[in-house]
Every structure is written in C-alpha cells, then in structure tokens.
C-alpha cells in the first residue's frame, strides 16, 4: 500500500509570494492533517480536513489555508510568505479523525523563504 | 506553561546503553499517550501507544505513564545505532488534535 505522498519535496520562495503544497493520503483514508515543524517550535498543528470539511484549526494566521478534494487529496496554501514561514510542512492521513486514529505522516515539504 | 514539555537534547549514548526519554504535560484530560520516531529527512512514525497510566512493553521499547505527576517516559534497552532519531511524545485527549513535544534527538554511537 502506498504511503502518504507530498509534493514538492523542496521549495524556495521569496517574501511576499504565495505557495501551494499538495498531499495525497493513503488510499481509503479520509482525514488529512497538516503540521508545521521548525527547530524552535517543534511540530505544530495547522488544520485537519475530514471528508472535505475543516474539522480543526490550529493557532496560525489566516495566511495559512487549506482544502480537501472529494478524493481526499489535500492542498495547503500560504499567502504573503514571511521569513518565519520557512519550515518543514508535514501532512498526515488517518482512516478517521486524527484525534482517535493512528496518523501516517508523509516525508514533508521543505519550504525556504528568502 | 507549555502543554507538553520535552528536553530537546541532543542525547548521545554508546551502543547497548539504556536510554530514557521523558515528557511532562499539563492537561489532565490527556488519556492517550503516543511516542513517534522521526528519522532524518522523514516524517514521524508511530512507535508506541498507551492508554491511561501504566507500562507497555514492545520488544526493546517500554512506554511508561504516570498520570498523577503528568510524566511520560520511553525507555530503550540495548540501544542500537539504528535507534538514532528524534523521538516525539504526543499526549492526547482522544477528541482534539495531537499536541507534540518538541522532540529529543538521540544518537547511538557504535
């Protein structure tokens, strides 16, 4: 069974630009969660989508948004990039909601903002 | 007080040593306790999962939870170089998104 895939794996952007990251969950998984990982703050929850609906949202500004498609694939978007947005963005999928089901993580997208 | 506190290390031990990794948490609603392992350039993977207080053993790994002191531990016996990774604790209430510790970076030296 294929794991969670994320594209692209690496991305370099400049301040003020926007970026879209993509996540394909494990087949059959309906929940996709997004996390930001930095050395200073660790792994922080961004948001979770289940059956195309946002179920939970972390404490991030509105520049961070996401969506989920009917095939459970998900995208997250960051607008007006700031230097502090440089991080590893991880997506995780689970059969049901992330709170009560094992999450499987993808390898992440490494975003560098210059 | 942060919801989950974890010493970031790095922690360096010789092969064969017993490793102790620890976290403290503040939310008394946490009932499920997970440990994730993250290798370099990879996403985290679930290593162990326990419910409520007590111990759980899986091979060389033992997870221990003390809810009275809000303290969780992961012990690794006979540590191997392949155990070199970052270990993240993630206590959970069961109905909210996971909250992760910052992770402890472990190096096991052959």
pLDDT tens column, B26-75: 999 898 999 999 999 899 999 998 888 889 999 999 999 999 999 999 99
Query: Do B101 and A108 make contact, defined as CB atoms within 8 angstroms?
Result: no
Beta carbon pairs, A and B, within 8 Å: 49
Candidates A19, A22, A8; CA nearest to A80 is A19
Chain A residues touching residue B92 (CB < 8 angstroms): 99
Question: What's the pLDDT tens digit per position in B82-109?
Answer: 999 999 999 988 878 889 999 999 999 9
What pLDDT does residue A44 have?
95
- pLDDT of A32: 96
Residue A65 burial (C-beta neighbours within 10 Å; 0-12, 13-18, 19+) = middle
**DSSP 3-state of A85:** helix
Interface touch A107/B93, C-beta < 8 Å: no
Q: A107: which chain B residues are within 8 Å (Cβ-Cβ)? A: 41-43
Length of chain B: 110
Q: Other C-beta atoms within 10 Å of B98: how many?
A: 23
Residue A93 forms contact with B (CB below 8 Å): no
Instruction: Give the strand pairing for B104-109 and B11-14.
Output: parallel
Any B CB within 8 A of A5 CB: no
B51: buried, middle or exposed (CB in 10 Å: 19+, 13-18, 0-12)? Answer: exposed
Residue in B43, B92, B103 closest to A105 by CB: B43
> Minimal CA–CA distance to A93: which of A34, A40, A13?
A34
Q: Answer whether residue A73 shows pLDDT above 70.
A: yes
What pLDDT digit, counting tens, does each position of A35-55 carry?
A: 999 988 999 999 999 999 999
Polymer length in residues for chain A: 114
Question: Residue A96: what pLDDT?
Answer: 80
What value does the mean pLDDT of chain B take?
93
The sign of the dihedral angle between the CA atoms of B28, A97, A92, B77 is positive
CB contact under 8 A, A102 and B46: yes
Interface test with B, best of A101, A103, A104 (most B CBs within 10 A): A103
Please say if the pLDDT value at position A34 is more than 80.
Answer: yes
Q: Which residue has the tokens 């209430």?
A: B93
């Amino acid at each position: 069974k294929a794991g969670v895939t994320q594209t692209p794996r690496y991305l370099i952007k400049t301040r003020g630009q926007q970026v879209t990251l993509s996540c394909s969950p494990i087949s059959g998984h309906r929940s996709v969660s997004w996390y930001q990982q930095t050395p200073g703050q660790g792994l922080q929850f961004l948001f979770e989508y289940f059956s195309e609906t946002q179920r939970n949202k972390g404490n991030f500004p509105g520049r961070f948004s996401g969506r989920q498609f009917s095939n459970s694939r998900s995208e997250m978007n960051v607008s007006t990039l700031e230097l502090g947005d440089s991080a590893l963005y991880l997506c995780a999928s689970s059969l049901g909601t992330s709170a009560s089901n094992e999450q499987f993580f993808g390898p992440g997208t490494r975003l560098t903002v210059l | 007080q942060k919801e989950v506190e974890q010493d970031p290390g790095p922690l360096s031990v010789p092969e064969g040593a017993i490793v102790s990794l620890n976290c403290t948490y503040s939310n008394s609603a946490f009932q499920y306790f997970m440990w994730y392992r993250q290798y370099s350039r990879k996403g985290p993977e679930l290593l162990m999962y326990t419910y409520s207080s007590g111990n759980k053993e899986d091979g060389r790994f033992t997870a221990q939870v003390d809810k009275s002191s809000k303290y969780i531990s992961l012990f690794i016996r006979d540590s191997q170089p392949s155990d070199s990774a970052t270990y993240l604790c993630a206590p959970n209430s069961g109905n909210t998104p996971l909250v992760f510790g910052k992770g402890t970076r472990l190096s096991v030296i052959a």
